[in-house]
Amino acid sequence: MLTKIGKGVWIIPAVIIAPGVTIGDEAVIATGSVVTKDVPPRTLVAGVSAKVVKDLNSILEQIV
């Protein structure tokens, strides 16, 4: 299984990513998260199992 990590992704320390997961561009994975499912682009995920806790589109659009 191939794990895919998009461009501009932040993976904070102590994260576990399961095989075969795709992490979308500009996503952020919070400390201690266990990622078992695909992560949409521009989202913040956290927890065990990781879940989307915030959509980052509006924040990132203000920067660009």
pTM of the model: 0.88
3-state secondary structure 2-56: CCEECCCCEECCCCEECCCCEECCCCEECCCCEECCCECCCEEEECECCEEEEEC
* Dihedral sign for Cα atoms in the order 49, 54, 26, 31: negative
pLDDT of residue 40: 97
pLDDT of residue 54: 95
Residues of the chain with confidence (pLDDT) below 70: 64
pLDDT of residue 64: 62
Domains in the chain: ranges and CATH = 4-63 (2.160.10.10)
pLDDT of residue 1: 84
